[in-house]
Amino acid sequence: MSEPTRFSRGYPVLIAAAIAVAGLCYSSWVLEFVLPISSDPVNTFLSELDAEGKPYREVFATADKLAGLLLIPAALGGLLVFRRRALTTTGWLALLCFGAATIADAMLPLRDCDPAVSACGDSGLFPQLRQPHALTSTLAVTSIAVAAFAFSAAAYRYHRWRILREFGVLVLVVGSAATIWMLVADNLSGSYALGIAQRVQVGAMSLWLLALAAAVLVEGREWATRP
């Protein structure tokens, strides 16, 4: 392997910084507890924070766009900087898709609708058929789930990315449990605190991104050039 230059050693730092800032931006929903927003975290979805007509829509939408804009070059940089292997390549590509879907999610907000209209009020497992925002949200969640599972598998198979083998897997388990909670409860009658479940899910996504950033930073110390 060729010896890394002093300049090239800075690439992992830049990638890690971009992922970390993206993770923080993706957690902008916590501002609902600071801003004067009348919302019920137990029963409302985060998409309602930046729905059309909401007073602080630009705050949350801008944070999501910034997260996506940072993750796309970070994922491309990861593909170029680190040695390509099947699982990590899958992870970087999925992270890129997550960034793109997050931008689309912010650009296609949830539409305000009349609660009396059943097509708006019903949730169900396939709301994608009713609002584009639900489709982009599903693509975002699916993409980061693929990225998390791919990097976790890579951490065990290649004996690298130690942070992802430890803290990252723990966060992945918590996020997966929240996702199962949502999928099951969403198809049952009654209230099952779906708002809490989604906040746990999205919070786990942000924590996992921070874990990935830390892993990239550590991995950069053990530089591996492309074969």
Could you report the per-residue pLDDT of 159-213, keeping only the tens digit for each? 888 899 889 999 999 999 998 988 887 777 767 788 899 999 999 999 999 999 9
Supply the pLDDT for residue 112. 57
**Better-scored residue on pLDDT, 132 or 61:** 61
Q: What is the pLDDT of residues 76-113, one digit of tens each?
A: 999 998 888 999 999 999 999 999 999 999 998 877 54
Query: Is 186 part of a structural domain of the chain?
Result: yes
**Better-scored residue on pLDDT, 114 or 90:** 90
Query: Is 146 part of a structural domain of the chain?
Result: yes
Query: Is 204 part of a structural domain of the chain?
Result: yes
> How far apart (Å, rounded) are the C-alpha atoms in residues 122 and 94?
30
pLDDT at residue 227 tops 80: no
Query: Is 144 part of a structural domain of the chain?
Result: yes
Query: Is 118 part of a structural domain of the chain?
Result: no
Query: Is 3 part of a structural domain of the chain?
Result: no
Range of 184's domain? 8-111+130-219
**Better-scored residue on pLDDT, 71 or 46:** 71
Supply the pLDDT for residue 222. 62
**Better-scored residue on pLDDT, 142 or 113:** 142
Supply the pLDDT for residue 194. 86
User: b/e map of 35-58 (b: 16 or more CB within 10 Å)?
Assistant: eebebebeebbbbbbbbeebeebe
Query: Is 2 part of a structural domain of the chain?
Result: no
pLDDT at residue 119 tops 70: no
Supply the pLDDT for residue 108. 86
Query: Is 117 part of a structural domain of the chain?
Result: no
**Total domains in the fold of the chain:** 1
> How far apart (Å, rounded) are the C-alpha atoms in residues 78 and 76?
5
